Amino acid sequence: MNNLKAISINVAIPFFVALIFAFLVYYQEKIPSFIFDIMPYIFYVLSAIVIVISWHFNRNRFLFVLFPLVLLYIGFEFLPASKATLLFKYISIIFPLHLLIFLILSERGLFSLWGNLKIAFVVLELAIIVWFVEYPNSMILDIFNIKLFVFDSFPLSDVSIVVGLFILFIMLSLVLFNHFLMYNGSFLLILISLYATLYFVKINNVIELGFIAIVLIILVLLIREAYRLAFYDELTSLPGRRALIEDMAKLGRKYTLAMCDIDHFKKFNDTYGHDTGDEVLKMVATKLANVGGGGKAYRYGGEEFTLLFPSKDVDESYIYADILRENIAKSPFVVRNKKSAKKIFINISAGIVQNSAKDKDPFATMKRADNALYKAKDAGRNKVVKA
């Protein structure tokens, strides 16, 4: 299960965006009317920005989510009331499923085989919706209008409520147990914002405000994704070297720094393969991420990691680093093959130092920590050496 703090952070950011727009809906009489006149333009501009950023960072799932959303908005704006009502019925069921599908599908190149299949799927999906809006089918409408609950969910149909609850359950499960928290949390709030928009559709300007909220949630997610790509290691999800350099520039007068690496990692890779080696790196990184004492872990490169303890002296930091080393040493790692499973234990060594007046900058402190790491290796490994 995911860490409660991580869940809270990743859900709170899109929730805050949605909450702002909920307040705008509630207090819209206090907003100057010209703001609502330019809202369609705001929606289109934000959508264009998201499309450009998505294209640039090769995050194509947002293109597949946003393009239908823009078409839906155009449909609500320009279709006659009878056809807009039909569009409402169909998308209240189909678009939530669309969201779930493109949340689960992994990123592939837009013009790869999988990308072409996704394009074909979206085109087919839109064609079916256009067909049923233009040529309503009474049998399908009867299915959509089936009464399942004693309460009235108008204007949403009971079928759309069932579909929404089903997708909500899956997305909540992904938030709790899947490690792509940033995406899962944002898509969960997109789903909730969509249903809130559709349910309160009769309130003035709800469609405009709700769709802008959804686009802003996607835009914020893209900005966070760009930050993650720049500052976080893809394999271990720890902050990378660039993040370490940024954080070292913010350090105060006192701090402690530790350099760590996995003992005999090259031999492990040669024996069990690089895929298993990557799993070891992930396991060790998960342990390092939970270092106490206000410390923060970074992947420095390869099998080497850095621990940074701002405002902490070396004696206090040493305790947390050594507890971490012991926890890793006692945690079994299971190597599996087709015939058997073998339990092994991973060790790390570390060198830890406190900055001094002789250090010109944090990089000089890091060099001393690196020297202490070599001493830990020479002393037999699976040790933390304090310099």
Residue 136 gets which letter from DSSP? -
pLDDT at 154: 83
Mutual angle of helices 274-289 and 265-272, in 10-degree steps: 140
Query: Is the pLDDT at 309 greater than 90, yes or no?
Result: yes
Measured CA angle at 47 (ends 187, 112), to 5 deg: 70
Tens digits of residue pLDDT in 50-106: 988 888 878 888 889 999 999 999 998 888 988 988 899 888 999 999 999 999 988
Q: How far apart are CA 34 and CA 362, in angstroms?
A: 53
Residue 306 gets which letter from DSSP? E
pLDDT at 266: 86
pLDDT at 294: 87
Tens digits of residue pLDDT in 328-361: 999 888 887 767 678 888 899 999 999 888 888 8
Q: What H or E segment, with its residue span, contains residue 121?
A: helix 113-134
pLDDT at 186: 93
Region 22-26 average pLDDT:
88
pLDDT at 228: 86
Q: Is 263 helix (H, G, I), strand (E, B) or coil?
A: coil
Q: What is the mean pLDDT of the chain?
A: 88
Query: Is the pLDDT at 187 greater than 90, yes or no?
Result: yes
Q: For residue 276, how many other CB atoms are within 10 A of its CB? A: 17
Closest C-alpha among 365, 384, 363, 366 to residue 375: 384
Instruction: Say yes or no: domain 241-386 is CATH 3.30.70.270.
Output: yes
Region 115-131 average pLDDT:
89
pLDDT at 331: 87
Place of tokens 């342990």: 287
Tens digits of residue pLDDT in 148-169: 888 888 888 889 999 999 999 9
Q: Determine what percent of the chain is predicted with pLDDT higher than 90.
A: 37
Query: Is the pLDDT at 288 greater than 70, yes or no?
Result: yes
Are 313 and 274 in contact by the 8 Å Cβ rule? The answer is no
Query: Is the pLDDT at 174 greater than 80, yes or no?
Result: yes
Place of tokens 């092994």: 344
Beta strands 296-301; 255-262: pairing state: unpaired
Reply yes or no on whether 303 is catalytic: yes
How is the chain split into domains, by residue range?
Answer: 4-231, 241-386
Backbone dihedral angles phi then psi of residue 343, each to the nearest 5 degrees: -95, 125
Tens digits of residue pLDDT in 203-252: 888 999 999 999 999 999 998 888 888 888 888 889 999 999 999 988 88
Q: How far apart are CA 292 and CA 374, in angstroms?
A: 24
pLDDT at 338: 65
In the set 279, 303, 304, 326, the catalytic residue is: 303
Residue 346's identity, in one-letter code, is I
